[in-house]
Structure 1
Amino acid sequence: MKSGFVSVIGRTNSGKSSLINALLGEELCFISRKENATRRKMNVIIMHGDNQVILVDTPGLHESNKTFNQLLIEAAKKSINECDLILFVMSVKDDFSEYEKFLSLNPKVEHIVVLNKIDLVKDEYLLKKLAEFNFNAKIIPFTNKNNFYKKILLDEICKYLPVHPHFFDAEHTTDKTLKEVAAELILESIYDNLSDEVPYFCEVVVQKVIEKDNETTFFADIITDTNSHKAMLIGKEANTIKRIGIKARKRLQDLLGIKINVKLLVKQKKHWYNDEIFLKQIKLSN
C-alpha cells in the first residue's frame, strides 16, 4: 500500500485542472479557458488499486506584481517542496522555456513532465517535442480524450509514492468542505457567464448550507470591487445572476447527485483583493 501527495504544477491554461478531473473521473476541479482561474490549492483523492494518490491542484505559474496574484503564485511555489512528487504539466504546444522556468525554481523532489493535449498534434510533432528534453527527464504524453493514458500516468505516479497508510477515507474525493467546493463551482459559473476583467474582481463566500426536505440550499455572497461590476453581475432584470445560479446549481447537482438550490447575493467591497484580513478570512493568504 502506497499513499502520497503529488503537486500539479504548470503555467496558467496548461490543462492542470482538466488533467486532474480526467484522472479522477469526474468534474470536481474548477475549469476555465480564462487565465489564472484556479485560486486555491485543492487536494483531490484518487484510489489506484490499493494506492492512494493525492493530487494537489495549484494556481497557475505566471508573472504579476499585483498583491492578489502574488499570493496565488506563492501558493503554487510553496507546494513544489511540500509533496512526494511533482507533475509538471505543459501543453504539447508550449515552448521548452516553460520547462526551464520550472527547473529554475529548484524543485527538491522528483518530478514527471506531463506533456498534455497531445490530441492536438500529429505524431511527428510529438516526437520532435519529446526530443527537446534531456534523456534524464521522465516524460509522459497525455490527453484526457483517451482513457488509455490515465492508467499509464497513474501507474508511473505510484512508483514514486512512499509506502504509507491512506491519509484519507478511500470513499472521499477531496478534503475540501461542501462550502468550499460550492464556492469554487459558483466562481466557475461567474467565469463562464461574464467576459473581460469582471470575474477576476470577484470572489465567492458561501455563508451557510441548509438541508431540508431532500433539498440542499447554498446561500452565497458574490464579492466584487465596484458598483459597475455589481451591476454587470446582476444584469438586466437580474438575468445574469440567474444564469450564474443555474449553471452552479447544475454543476453541484451533477457532482453531488442530490437536489440543489443556490441563493446568490452580490455585495460590493472596494479593493477586496488588497485587503489582507479579508484574504485570510477566505483562505487566500496564510
Structure 2
Amino acid sequence: MRSGFVTLIGRTNAGKSSLLNYLLDQKISMVSHKQNATRRKILGIVMNEQDQAIFIDTPGLHDSAKTLNKLMVQSAIKSLGDADAVVFVASVFDSLENYEKFLSLNTTLPHIIALTKIDEASQDKLFQKLNEYQKYSNNFQAIVPITIKKQAYRKIFLDALTPLLPEHPHYYDPEFITTTNEKDIYRDFILEAIFECVSQEVPYSSDAIVSKVKQKSDILEIEAKIITDNTHHKAILIGKNGATIKRIGIVARKIISEFNNQKVFIKLNVEIDKNWHTNENSIKKYLDLKGN
C-alpha cells in the first residue's frame, strides 16, 4: 500500500484544476479560461486500487510584479515542501520554457509530466512534443499524455504516479475526496462565477468570503460577500438594477448545486476593501496563505 501527497504544478491555464476534477470524477476546484484564476490550495484524495494519492492543486507559476500574483506563486512553490511527489502539468502546445523553470527550482522530489489537451492536437504534434521532452528524460520518471475527455487515461496516469509514493497507510478514509473546508470550496465557486460574469480587471481585484452556511431539510443556504477594491468595481459587480450580481449568484448557485446535488440559495453582498490585492497582509488573510 502506498500513500502520499502530490503537488500539481505548472503554468497558469495548463489544466491543473481540470486534471484534479477529472481524477476525482467530481468538480471541487474552480476552472476558468482566464489566467491566474486558482488562488488557494485545494486538496483532492484519489484512490488507485489500494494506493492513495492526495493531490494539492496550486496557483499557476508565472512571472509577475503584482503582489497578489507573487504571493500565489510563492504558495505554489512552498507546497513542494509538503509533497512526496510532483506532477508537472503542461499543455501539449506549451514550449519547454516553463518546465525548464520548474527544473531550476532544484527540487529533489520525483516527478512525472502530465501532457494535457492532447485531444486538441494532431498525432504529429503530440509525437513532436514528446520528443522535445526526451532531452530531459533523466529528470522525470514518466511523461503521460492525458485528455480529461476520456476516462481511460485516468488509470494510465495513476499507475505511472503511485509507484513514486512511499509505502504508508492511508492518510484519509478512502471514501473522502477532499479535506478542504466546504466554505473554501464554495468561495472558489463564487469566484469562478465572478470570472465568468465579469470581464477585464474586476475579477482580479475581487475575492469572495463565505460568512454563513445553513443546511435546511430541502435547501442549502449560503451567505457570502464579494470583496473588491474600489467603488467603480463595486458598481460593475452589482450592475444596473443589480443585474450582474444576480447573474453571478445564478452561476454560483448552479455550480454549487451540481457539487452537492441539492437546491442552493445564495445571498451575495459586495464590500470594498481598498487596494486589498496590493496589501500583503490582506492578501494572506483572504487567500489563507499561512506562514507564506
Q: Verify: 1:224 aligned to 2:237, yes or no.
A: no
For the Cα contact (< 8 Å) 2:3–2:169, is it kept in 1?
yes
Tell me, in whole angstroms, the C-alpha distance in 2 between the residues paired with 1:178 and 1:81. 25
State the partner residue of 1:47: 47
- For these two proteins, the number of residue pairs brought into alignment is 286
Tell me, in whole angstroms, the C-alpha distance in 2 between the residues paired with 1:285 and 1:4. 22
Q: Verify: 1:158 aligned to 2:162, yes or no.
A: yes
Tell me, in whole angstroms, the C-alpha distance in 2 between the residues paired with 1:40 and 1:131. 34
For the Cα contact (< 8 Å) 2:46–2:177, is it kept in 1?
yes
State the partner residue of 1:123: 123
- Give unpaired runs (5+ residues) of structure 2: none
State the partner residue of 1:278: 282
Shift of 1:27: 1.6
The amino acid of 1:53's aligned partner reads A
The amino acid of 2:38's aligned partner reads T
Tell me, in whole angstroms, the C-alpha distance in 1 between the residues paired with 2:117 and 2:280. 37
For the Cα contact (< 8 Å) 1:39–1:284, is it kept in 2?
no
Tell me, in whole angstroms, the C-alpha distance in 1 between the residues paired with 2:260 and 2:51. 24
Tell me, in whole angstroms, the C-alpha distance in 2 between the residues paired with 1:198 and 1:285. 25
Of all paired residues, the percent bearing the same amino acid is: 46
Per the normalisation by structure 1, the TM-score is 0.97
CA-to-aligned-CA distance 1:47-87 (integer Å, 9 cap, x gap): 22111111110000001111111110100111123211100
The amino acid of 1:22's aligned partner reads Y
For the Cα contact (< 8 Å) 1:2–1:165, is it kept in 2?
yes
- What is the 5 A alignment of 1:176-187? 176-187=180-191
The amino acid of 2:203's aligned partner reads P
For the Cα contact (< 8 Å) 2:11–2:61, is it kept in 1?
yes
Shift of 1:273: 1.4
Tell me, in whole angstroms, the C-alpha distance in 2 between the residues paired with 1:14 and 1:280. 24
For the Cα contact (< 8 Å) 1:112–1:140, is it kept in 2?
yes
Shift of 1:125: 1.5
State the partner residue of 1:95: 95
Tell me, in whole angstroms, the C-alpha distance in 1 between the residues paired with 2:290 and 2:192. 20
Tell me, in whole angstroms, the C-alpha distance in 2 between the residues paired with 1:98 and 1:77. 14
Alignment root-mean-square deviation, CA: 1.2
> Matched residue of 1:182: which SS?
helix
CA-to-aligned-CA distance 1:66-121 (integer Å, 9 cap, x gap): 11111101001111232111000111011122211111111120010111111111
- Give unpaired runs (5+ residues) of structure 1: none
The amino acid of 1:231's aligned partner reads A
Per the normalisation by structure 2, the TM-score is 0.95
CA-to-aligned-CA distance 1:225-251 (integer Å, 9 cap, x gap): 010100000011111101111111111
Tell me, in whole angstroms, the C-alpha distance in 2 between the residues paired with 1:276 and 1:66. 10
> Matched residue of 2:108: which SS?
coil
State the partner residue of 1:22: 22
> Matched residue of 1:217: which SS?
strand
Tell me, in whole angstroms, the C-alpha distance in 2 between the residues paired with 1:173 and 1:152. 20
For the Cα contact (< 8 Å) 1:5–1:55, is it kept in 2?
yes
The amino acid of 2:13's aligned partner reads N
> Matched residue of 2:82: which SS?
coil
State the partner residue of 1:107: 107
For the Cα contact (< 8 Å) 1:279–1:285, is it kept in 2?
no
The amino acid of 2:289's aligned partner reads L
Tell me, in whole angstroms, the C-alpha distance in 2 between the residues paired with 1:23 and 1:258. 23
The amino acid of 2:277's aligned partner reads Y
State the partner residue of 1:141: 145
For the Cα contact (< 8 Å) 1:276–1:285, is it kept in 2?
no
The amino acid of 1:182's aligned partner reads Y
Q: Verify: 1:202 aligned to 2:206, yes or no.
A: yes
State the partner residue of 2:238: 234
For the Cα contact (< 8 Å) 1:42–1:176, is it kept in 2?
yes
Deviates more, 1:232-241 or 1:44-53: 44-53
Tell me, in whole angstroms, the C-alpha distance in 1 between the residues paired with 2:290 and 2:234. 24
1:190 maps to which of 190, 194, 197 = 194
Tell me, in whole angstroms, the C-alpha distance in 2 between the residues paired with 1:56 and 1:111. 14
Shift of 1:128: 1.3
Tell me, in whole angstroms, the C-alpha distance in 2 between the residues paired with 1:256 and 1:156. 31
